[in-house]
Homo-oligomer: A and B are copies of this chain.
Amino acid sequence: MVMFMWAEGTTTGQQEEVAEKLGELPGVIPEIREYSLGTNAGVNPDAYDFAVVGDFADRAAYLVYRDHPAHRAVIDQYITPIVAQRAAIQYEL
């Protein structure tokens, strides 16, 4: 699971594009078991802006997703250009 804080000046259009492009990945990468995208609800100050939570059968399935060209393309084209901060963790349920 990953959280992003977008850079100053990021537009809502750019943010929506990230959600839209990521939202296409479950249709392209069958190793994604569950995939949840969330925009900060504004409850607390200092919160991150956007979250991506993925569930995978095992570490191998996660790695297929992590390194999948369709995923990397979204990161490179839509996420990296607007990221100010990123926080991530992978853990076993």
- Chain B residues with CB under 8 Å of A87's CB are 3, 48, 85, 87
A51 at the interface (CB under 8 A from B): yes
In the complex, the chain B residue whose C-beta lies closest to that of A38 is: B91
Number of copies of this chain in the oligomer? Answer: 2
By the criterion of a CB under 8 Å from any partner CB, how many residues of chain A are at the interface? 28
The residue that A90 contacts in the complex, of B40, B88, B93, with Cβ under 8 A, is: B40
Establish whether residues A90 and B41, one from each chain, have CB atoms under 8 Å apart when the complex forms.
yes
A44 at the interface (CB under 8 A from B): yes
Establish whether residues B88 and A41, one from each chain, have CB atoms under 8 Å apart when the complex forms.
no
Q: Beyond A1-B1, A43-B63, A62-B43, is A49–B88 a contact (Cβ under 8 Å)?
A: no
Establish whether residues B46 and A89, one from each chain, have CB atoms under 8 Å apart when the complex forms.
no
